[in-house]
Amino acid sequence: MVDRRVRILMVKFGDGYEAAMMKLARAFSEAGFEVIYTELQDPRAIVNSAIQESVDHIGVTTLPGTDIRTFSTLMELLRKEGAGHVRITAGGFLDEESIPKVKAMGVVEFFPKGTTYDELIDWAARNIKATEE
């Protein structure tokens, strides 16, 4: 039995929205999750951070102009580094045609722009579990 809070690495693909990201991180922290927020956008740097911080999950905010191929790279690097158990969700700005594509790459859920913090936290509480270190 794992006796620690769930650790979530929050990242974003794209520029801007720092204040919104900080509000999201605070909401998750107040809900009992341990949140690590980084401005890193390079998939290798994100994976390194995920491993160093022993996270259970990565939450990606997609901003306008996100190249969805970045998700494929991120998933591949997690597997290569032995962190394939770290699941990824995403949310934000993405066109309807891209959502099934990122899910096919391994993103477990996509939350469209407008999803409430309560909806995100409820999903996380039901679906993200702390892993053994």
Instruction: Report yes or no on 81 lying in a domain.
Output: yes
Q: Which pLDDT value is given to residue 14?
A: 87
Separation of alpha carbons 15 and 77, rounded Å: 23
Read off the pLDDT of residues 36-58 as tens digits, 9 standing for 90 and up: 999 889 999 999 999 999 999 99
59 pLDDT higher than 90: yes
121 pLDDT higher than 60: yes
Nearest to 49 by CA among 15, 89, 11: 11
93-to-4, 13, 29, 68, 82 alpha-carbon distances in Å: 32, 10, 23, 11, 30
Q: What is the CATH classification number for the domain harbouring 40?
A: 3.40.50.280
133 pLDDT band (50/70/90 cuts)? low
72 pLDDT higher than 90: yes
* Contact criterion met (CB below 8 Å) for 27 and 74: no
In the chain, the percentage of residues whose pLDDT exceeds 70 is 96
Separation of alpha carbons 38 and 61, rounded Å: 12
Number of domain units in the chain: 1
28 pLDDT band (50/70/90 cuts)? very high
Interacting residues of 42 by C-beta distance below 8 A, sequence separation 6+: none
Instruction: Report yes or no on 131 lying in a domain.
Output: no
- Domain assignment of residue 53, given as a range: 7-123
Q: Which pLDDT value is given to residue 2?
A: 54
Predicted structure pTM score:
0.93
Instruction: Report yes or no on 40 lying in a domain.
Output: yes
Q: Which pLDDT value is given to residue 132?
A: 67
